């Protein structure tokens, strides 16, 4: 079953402000992850760990597509656990003075053999928390 995880929220902020939060590494660390090597450029590879000192999950991503104020698409991988990758697409759309943020995480089945920490439910909960709480609260404060 190749059904992507889809998470979307309306954020009461202009699209340009949402885009900046998604693509400016200084803003990202306020609501998402501290990504030191992030550069908004196709083929840029960036790396990060979950917050805290444990550094259990090395995330590695490569930017595939950029449409300013509309779309950011990148791979999502755990090179310490698997050679397989998934794809995350962030799409922005103006809606009633705010911004509809839609995230699609595709090929999540590639991680099905890596254990419970990589389950569809875990990713769905994580993305809902990141978009529906962290990003929303950061931009609507």
pLDDT band per the 50, 70, 90 thresholds, residue 52: confident
CB atoms inside a 10 Å sphere around CB 15:
19
Q: Is 133 helix (H, G, I), strand (E, B) or coil?
A: helix
Task: Using the predicted structure, report yes or no on whether residue 136 has a pLDDT greater than 70.
Answer: yes
| Residue % of the chain over a pLDDT of 70 | 99
Q: Is 13 helix (H, G, I), strand (E, B) or coil?
A: coil
Tell me the C-alpha to C-alpha distance, in Å, between residue 42 and each of 20, 30, 73: 17, 23, 9
Task: Answer whether 82's CB lies under 8 Å from 111's CB.
Answer: yes
Task: State if pTM tops 0.85.
Answer: yes
| Residue % of the chain over a pLDDT of 90 | 91
**3-state secondary structure labels for all residues of 44-99:** CEEEEECCCCCCCCEEEEEEEEEECCCEEEEEEECCCCCCCEEEEEEEEEEECCEE
Q: What is the mean pLDDT of residues 17-43?
A: 96
The domain segmentation of the chain, as residue ranges, is: 5-140
Q: What is the mean pLDDT of residues 36-42?
A: 97
Task: Using the predicted structure, report yes or no on whether residue 1 has a pLDDT greater than 80.
Answer: no
Architecture of the structural domain at 5-140: 2-Layer Sandwich (3.30)
């Amino acid at each position: 079953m190749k059904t992507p995880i889809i998470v979307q929220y309306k954020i009461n902020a202009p699209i340009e402000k949402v885009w900046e939060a998604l693509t400016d590494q200084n803003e990202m660390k306020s609501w998402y992850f501290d990504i030191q090597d992030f550069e908004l450029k196709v083929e840029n590879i960036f790396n990060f760990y979950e917050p805290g000192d444990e550094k259990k999950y090395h995330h590695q991503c490569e930017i595939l597509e950029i449409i300013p104020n509309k779309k950011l698409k990148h791979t999502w991988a755990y090179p310490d656990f698997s050679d397989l990758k998934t794809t995350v697409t962030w799409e922005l759309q103006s809606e009633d003075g705010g911004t509809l943020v839609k995230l699609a995480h595709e090929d999540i089945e590639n991680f099905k053999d890596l254990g419970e920490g990589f389950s569809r439910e875990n990713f769905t909960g994580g993305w809902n928390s990141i978009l529906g709480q962290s990003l929303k609260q950061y931009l609507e404060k």
